[in-house]
Amino acid sequence: MTLDLIEIKPRLNVKKVIIISIIALLIISLLCTSIFFGIYHHMKNVSIIENKIVNKSIPTHELYFSDNAKKNLIVDKVNHIYNSDYKRAFLTFDDGPSKSVTIPILDILKQYNVKATFFVLGSNVERYPEIVKKAYQEGHYIGNHGFTHVYANIYSSPQAVLDEYNRTETAIKNAIGNQNYNSRLFRFPGGTAGGKYAQIKTDAVNLLNQNSIAHLDWNALTADSAGLTDVNAMKTYVEKTIGNKNSVVILMHDNGTKKGTYELLPQLIQELQAKGYVFENIYDLLK
């Protein structure tokens, strides 16, 4: 009997040990899994919160430019804007802001969640500062198109270009209520190419670059400034100029008479999306 008991005891213990071990293993693995997922979710939440903070502060490229080494990068980045290994489209609007056209454009952009770039005219910024502020707060990039748009004034000398840039920049800062803002991005009225003031423009490009200010023309357009008002004609024109380009910078206008521009905009956005283009603005370029 005694021997039997002695023999049975170890058998029972082995069974117990195996069962307890299995239970212990199950508990440990359950604990590990829950700890892992707990940490994972915590990390995920932290990164979502961080992203929200970053996204919330996206219209603060002034932070980007506060790094002195980086402020020169905008010239290089914009100079290479047409090089891209994926399809991207930059919608750009010149000569605004205006009540009649900029406001409907902002509404459409919001509806499609597209961020654009506005090259504002200093004289119009002083007239409608609240519209510039709205565009800025909605995440659009505010670029600089000079103050007067009068060629004889702005192209009287390279320094005159810089002076109009600075005057407009001051108007933008006041409009958006941010004295640290610096667009560092200029669009030449009429573009940089050729014409009567070709040499002054070339010299002005160099002067701007010396001051870490980039300039941007375009490689596609709706021709809304060249007299086209018919939406279908504008659509045909812009499709032709977009062609098979991978990276398109599309010139449009948002001054007071360009009703056709916002009438075309929803179609243009949908068509570009269907062709696989992603919409970017200058903030994306500086990321």
Q: For residue 111, which amino acid is it?
A: Q
Q: Does residue 254 belong to the site contacting Zn ion (CB under 5 A)?
A: no
Query: Taking the complex as a whole, how short is the minimal distance between the CB of residue 91 and Zn ion, in angstroms?
Result: 15
Q: Looking at 74-82, 93-101, 169-177, 228-236, which segment touches Zn ion (CB under 5 A)? A: 93-101
Q: Looking at 5-13, 87-95, 170-178, 206-214, which segment touches Zn ion (CB under 5 A)? A: 87-95
Measured over the CA atoms of residue 72, residue 78, residue 83 and residue 84, the dihedral's sign is positive
Query: Taking the complex as a whole, how short is the minimal distance between the CB of residue 243 and Zn ion, in angstroms?
Result: 23
The residues in 126-165 that bind Zn ion, with binding defined as CB under 5 A, are: none
Q: Does residue 189 belong to the site contacting Zn ion (CB under 5 A)?
A: yes
Q: Looking at 12-20, 38-46, 91-99, 269-277, which segment touches Zn ion (CB under 5 A)? A: 91-99
Dist CA 283 CA 75 (whole Å): 13
Say which residues have a Cβ less than 8 Å from residue 22's Cβ, sequence separation at least 6: none
- The residue whose Cβ lies closest to Zn ion is 94
Q: Looking at 56-64, 100-108, 186-194, 235-243, which segment touches Zn ion (CB under 5 A)? A: 186-194
Strands 88-94 and 117-120: parallel
State the CB neighbour count (10 A cutoff) for residue 204: 26
Dist CA 9 CA 104 (whole Å): 87
Residues belonging to the chain: 287
Q: Considering beta carbons, is residue 94 or 224 the nearer one to Zn ion?
A: 94
Q: Considering beta carbons, is residue 214 or 277 the nearer one to Zn ion?
A: 214
Using CB under 5 A, which of 95, 224, 254, 280 touches Zn ion? Answer: 95
Query: Taking the complex as a whole, how short is the minimal distance between the CB of residue 185 and Zn ion, in angstroms?
Result: 14
Closest C-alpha among 126, 105, 218, 108 to residue 172: 126
Q: Considering beta carbons, is residue 59 or 189 the nearer one to Zn ion?
A: 189
Q: Considering beta carbons, is residue 95 or 169 the nearer one to Zn ion?
A: 95
Q: Does residue 122 belong to the site contacting Zn ion (CB under 5 A)?
A: no
Q: Are 282 and 81 in contact (CB under 8 A)?
A: no
What residue ranges in the chain does DSSP mark as E strands? Answer: 88-94, 117-120, 141-144, 185-186, 214-215, 220-221, 247-253, 278-279
Q: Considering beta carbons, is residue 88 or 255 the nearer one to Zn ion?
A: 255
Query: Taking the complex as a whole, how short is the minimal distance between the CB of residue 187 and Zn ion, in angstroms?
Result: 7
Q: Does residue 94 belong to the site contacting Zn ion (CB under 5 A)?
A: yes
Q: What are phi and psi of 201, to 5 degrees?
A: -65, -45
Residues near Zn ion, by CB under 5 A: 94-95, 189
